[in-house]
Amino acid sequence: MHLSRISRYTFIILIFFNILNVSADTKIEHKIAVLVNEELITSYDIIQRIKLSAILQGIEINSQNNQLLLNNTVEELIYEKLKLEKINEYKVKIEDEEYKEFEIDFFKRNNIDKQQTLDLLLKNKVKYEELKNLLVGELSWNKLVNGLFFRLTSVSDIEIDELISKNPQVSIERAKNLVIQRQLDLKSSKMLRDMFNEATIEYK
């Protein structure tokens, strides 16, 4: 995402209250929207995440994309609840320095200006903690997946050669890391699917 996309939507990020039939000036009620293994996702959680996603992606919420954004956001929050269960089960901890480095890397790899983003969060009444919780969750999940599955990964010369043949600019070490990450992503996806299939999810 480019900085110009953030600037372009500074004043047109729309609050998605029409989903819940309330106005932008109305106090948001924390109505239960979804129960995930007895863990709550409220209407407030959904609205905050929709606004946060729109800001980070540099998109305008409108009548053409609002239902898709709503569906994607609810699904995203459900999976985050499931991830958090597993994170807590394994007592994954994130140190302050770990988080700071991860946040810096997040803004860098997504080409997002941090100060502009913080200004947008403030203008759209999205708490910084929403962003921090999102990143802490992502970092914690990555740490858990690596701890569970990294020792089970293996890289063959065939996989490395195949990747480099498609991307000649990639070094051998980089290719190895990409192959390992692909394996970890597959393990992560399978674990999440299993957790989802076993979960009790109630839409209110």
CATH number at residue 37: 1.10.4030.10
pLDDT in tens, 6-23: 443 332 333 344 444 444
Which domain covers residue 65, as residue numbers? 3-149
Average pLDDT over every residue of 176-189: 95
Neighbours of 86 (CB within 10 A): 17
The span from the CA of 151 to the CA of 146, in Å, is: 8
pLDDT category of residue 192 using cuts at 50, 70 and 90: very high
Determine, yes or no, domain membership for 157: no
Is 90 exceeded by the pLDDT of residue 66? no
Identify the CA nearest to 11 among candidates 63, 69, 60, 66. 60
Percentage, residues of the chain above pLDDT 70 = 86
Sort 139 into a burial class: Cβ within 10 Å, 0-12 / 13-18 / 19+: buried
Q: Is residue 80 part of a domain?
A: yes
In a domain, 163, yes or no: no
- Residue 182 in domain: no
Please state the pTM of the whole predicted model: 0.82
Domain assignment of residue 190, yes or no: no
